[in-house]
Structure 1
Amino acid sequence: MREQGPAARVELPDGVVAWAVSSPAVLKQLLTDPRISKDPRQHWPAWINGEISPEWPLFTWVAVRNMFTAYGSDHRRLRGLIAKAFTARRMAALRPRVEEIAGGLLDRLAAAPHGETVDLREGYAYPIPIQVICDLFGIEDEATRDGLRECVDSIFHTSADAAEVTATYARIYEILGALVAHKREHPGEDMTSVLISARDENDGAGLSEQELVDTLLLVVGAGHETTVNLLDNAIHLLLTHPDQLALVRDGKADWGDVIEEALRVEAPVANLPLRYAVEDIELDGGITLRKGDAIIAAYAAAGRDPGQHGADADRFDLTRADKDHLAFGHGVHFCLGAPLARLEAEVALPALFERFPDLALATPPEGLRPVESFISNGHRTLPARLHATVAA
């Protein structure tokens, strides 16, 4: 794509065409440009004209009504409702809980029979963020937590067939609708209750019922899958680059270096749909984004751009001076959960490698398979051995 310029035409499922923007400089420009919208109802002709089916694999990504798909004053209103829940101060207060969750999972892993292969994605990277998000939402029921996880996995499954897409769409709203109904009857000190309160004030003038539910959907999706992939990729990178792990253990690099370089070289969200040109926009290289054109932010490509990071931009290097990345977005839509994702990684990664200093992959790196998604960037499984093998 990069050879075609800062943006390249790509085909999404069902023949939907978009521009994938891979240049970090152009991405930063567009992500702060008021002529770029995320609201399909105002600015995407394919949506306005009814050409996008509820069976489209990316339907949920554009159909929701929350700050992810809002533009202008609507975005500021919706973002303001939850911004206070994601301040750096509030996130820091969650550290003891994250440490507790990680410690419990490590105890569980340690209880596995010696020599048994464990899946670190399933047994460690997955449970931490979903439990933290459920704590924020006030979800105590394990079945609800598992249901949310399954739905998020499906939403990120960009090759899903029509039956899966429609079933997931119905199920996620059933789960979140039941959560809202329960919290209306049993409010607590959680994000769900706070949003319900905002919804019920002024007869719902500040927040519609769909916006309430869709905001919960946004937080569980953005706060779960992305952090799973951050942990998954960071663990994988360290296990496949022992020289870089040695730098951390020798104090020549720190865990902050690990996190930022992992975010750069393996962005948890590889390609984020969708944005729309509000008017014609000229880019370098003679490329014109026409009014109404759909746009994908190619974050993974931007992180490996040789123009910014040099000829070795695809190499995991903790000593790299410039670890700048767009993994959390840029501009007014910059991810509110970035402090939380970093906190979870700051706790989870050193805890894992300190607990199991002989940790190693249990399969050749080339045997790992990516998740079935061009949005989500991670592995289907991350099999590992916790202890060094001992010759008989």
Structure 2
Amino acid sequence: MDRSTVRPHRMNPSGGCPHADNARLRARGSVVPVVLPGEIEGMAVLGHEALKAFLGHPDVAKGARHFTLLREGAIPEGWPLRTFATVQSMTTADGADHRRLRSLVSRAFTSRRVAELRPRVEELTEALLDELARAATAGGGVADLRRHFALPLPMGVISELLGVDVAHRDRLHALSTQVVTTDIGSQQAVSANREFAAVLGEIVAAKAERPGDDLTTALLAARDDDGDRLSAQELIGTLLLLIVAGHETTLNLITNAVRALCAHPDQLAHVRGQQVGWGDVVEETLRWDAPVSYFPFRYPVRDVTVDGTVVPKGTPILAGYSAAGRDPAAYGPDADRFDVTRPGRPGAVRHLSLGQGAHYCLGAPLARLEAETALRRLFDRFPKLELAVPEGELPRHSGFVGNSVDTLPVRLSSDAP
């Protein structure tokens, strides 16, 4: 396909619900040209099969040296998406560098290690449900589930894994939100990234002085097979990645699942009737309302053709997870329907919302554990839980990377005043 004949879609920096736009874009093709903030030309891969092929393509890289405009100095420091390209971590590394960085972190996310975390996840979940109940009592029967439950659970778990003090957590979440948003001003973007690095530097310095039984201490001491430590920039970049990815995705996943179940009581009935498990709810939520809508960036190292469309060398590409999750070509004519029985059907198509291939989400087992535990205990504890405002009035998350709402007011009991 000649890209010049297709009018580019202008990505909305303020975000909003992505699904209507996704449907219109998929009708134009599984790979479409887009305009990113700052009038930067890019492309987005939207179709399930096209995205699956693209994520595993041998001529597609993650390293920023392949981003033509960045290499040529045309991307300003305050570009809101710059951190996604330049942070030095496994998400922007390829080949041996990627394997080295991933191996240093992966030992904390093995199946055995995640299983060992289950009692702590359950303990923290119970404590946060108590907090949610107190917040509802103070709020006349209504509480913000996102603030009091969906956020502190994954933030608490990843912070404990990293050995991050409680005093830092609120600030780290606020900075995390800023560095992944797409409608932030250039000066604010620069300030947020500098402050994030400074806070992480303080945490590293404290761990260097007082080592603990945590991942930050382990990363400080870790050496790969060649005896090379993480560089200072790689350590800060890795911590930034773990904090952002370690809580933002699960926060959105839990929030979106609760919204979906409250809006579809017939689907919640399937779980309560034990026709399906909470794992099925998590998988269907990941497909139907992916916590990450468009993830930046990958770059072709040479011109590549994806589903008949030429993607030029060096172009920044968005992975359209929310679009791929509702692709009728993969999931049938009812792809827009939330159906918790779908994941367990014979031959069911597996979603791509946690990635594919070498860069598959390292924390996926932990995210699934947290979400399943949170949903099971939440609806056990508060079986009459319902949204306190109509779904359409919930304020959407700012930006087109994350996909959720900013607040989730709920009533824990239909008998509440």
TM range (shorter): over 0.9
Q: Output the CA distance in 1 between the equivalents of 2:80 and 2:161.
A: 28
CA offsets per residue over residues 267-309 of structure 1, 9 Å max, x none? 1101000000001112233x10111111110000001000010
For the pair 1:165 / 2:198, whether they are aligned, the reply is: no
Q: Residue 382 of structure 2 aligns with which residue? A: 356
> Is 2:385–2:411's contact at 8 Å kept on the other side of the alignment?
yes
Cα pair 1:118 1:384 within 8 Å, conserved: yes
CA pair 283-344 structure 1, distance change in 2 beyond 3 A: same
Choose which of 395, 399, 405 in structure 2 pairs with 1:373: 399
Tell me what 1:15 maps to: 39
State the distance in 1 between where 2:213 and 2:36 align: 41
Note the alpha carbon deviations across 1:150-189, whole angstroms, 9 max, x for none: 1111112210011220110111001100011100011111
Counterpart Cα distance in 2 of 1:179 and 1:200: 22
- Mark the CA change 1:185 to 1:200 in structure 2 (over 3 Å): closer, same or farther: farther
The answer to whether the aligner puts 1:132 opposite 2:157 as a matched pair is yes
User: What is the aligned counterpart of 1:306 among 320, 328, 332?
Assistant: 328
Residue number among 238, 253, 256 corresponding to 2:279 in the alignment? 256
Residue 213 of structure 2 corresponds to residue 189 of structure 1: yes
Q: Distance in 1 between matches of 2:349 and 2:172?
A: 33
Equivalent residue number for residue 180 of structure 1: 204
Residues 335 and 200 (structure 1), Cα distance of their counterparts in 2 relative to 1, 3 Å cut: closer
Task: Report the CA distance between 1:4 and its aligned residue.
Answer: 2.0
Aligned to 2:172: 148
Q: Distance in 2 between matches of 1:292 and 1:162?
A: 23
Please say if residues 199 and 208 of structure 1, whose CA atoms lie closer than 8 Å, have aligned partners that are also in contact.
no
Task: Answer yes or no: is 1:385 the counterpart of 2:408.
Answer: no
Which amino acid letter does the alignment assign opposite residue 226 of structure 1? T
Name the SS of the counterpart of 2:38 in structure 1. Answer: helix
**Structure 1 counterpart of 2:236:** 213
8 A contact 1:105–1:123 mirrored in 2: yes
**% identical aligned pairs:** 48
Counterpart of 2:102 in structure 1 is 79
Quote the residue 2:54 is aligned against.
Answer: 30
2-structure distance, mates of 1:183, 1:200: 20
Give the equivalent residue in structure 2 for 1:278: 301
| Distance across 2 between alignment mates of 1:213 and 1:201 | 21
**Residue range with higher mean Cα deviation, 274-283 or 204-213:** 204-213
**1:25 maps to amino acid:** E
Task: Report if the CA contact (8 A) 2:221-2:229 is conserved.
Answer: no
TM-score, with structure 1 as normaliser: 0.96
Choose the corresponding residue for 2:366, options 340, 344, 366: 340
Partners of 1:224 and 1:110 in 2: CA distance: 22
- Partner SS, residue 160 of structure 1: coil
Aligned residue identity for 1:288: V
Task: Pick closer, same or farther for the CA change 1:143–1:199 going to 2, 3 Å.
Answer: farther
- Cα RMSD, aligned residues only: 1.6
CA–CA separation in structure 2 for the residues paired with 1:390 and 1:372? 31
Q: Is the 8 A contact 1:148 1:172 kept in 2?
A: yes
CA shift, 1:98, in A, is: 0.7
For residues 12-41 of structure 1, what are the alpha-carbon distances to aligned partners after superposition, in whole Å with 9 as ceiling and x for unaligned? 110111110011112111211220001112
Partner AA of 1:375 in structure 2: V
Instruction: Note the C-alpha offset of 1:330.
Output: 0.2
Measured in 2, the distance between the counterparts of 1:375 and 1:224 equals 14
Q: Per the alignment, do residues 296 and 360 of structure 1 end up closer, same or farther by CA in structure 2, a change over 3 Å counting?
A: same
Q: 1:64 aligns with which of 87, 108, 114?
A: 87
Question: 1:331 and 1:109 mapped to 2: Cα distance?
Answer: 38
Aligned residues of 2:54 and 2:306 also touching (Cα < 8 A):
no
SS in 1 for 2:137: coil
1:318 to 340, 348, 351: 340
Alpha-carbon distance in structure 1 between the residues aligned to 2:146 and 2:373: 16
Question: Quick check: 1:57–1:161 contact (8 Å CA) kept in 2?
Answer: yes
1:50 to 73, 84, 93: 73
Alpha carbons of 1:227 and 1:276: their partners in 2 closer, same or farther (altered >3 Å)? same
Name which of 108, 111, 122 aligns with 2:147.
122
The aligned counterpart of 1:291 is 313
Contact conserved, 1:271 with 1:300, CA < 8 A, in 2? yes
Q: Following TM superposition, by how much is the alpha carbon of 1:143 offset from its aligned partner in structure 2, in angstroms?
A: 2.6
Q: What are the superposed Cα offsets for residues 241-262 of structure 1, whole Å, 9 maximum, x if unpaired?
A: 0000011111112101100000
Change beyond 3 A, Cα 1:174–1:199? farther
TM-score (norm 2): 0.90
Whole-angstrom CA distance in 2 between matches of 1:371 and 1:323: 28
TM-superposed deviation, 1:237:
0.4
Unmatched runs of 5 consecutive residues or more in structure 1 = none
Q: Secondary structure at the match of 2:410?
A: strand
Q: 2:18 corresponds to which residue? A: none
Question: 2: distance between equivalents of 1:338 and 1:234?
Answer: 16
Structure 2 unaligned residues grouped into runs of 5+: 1-24
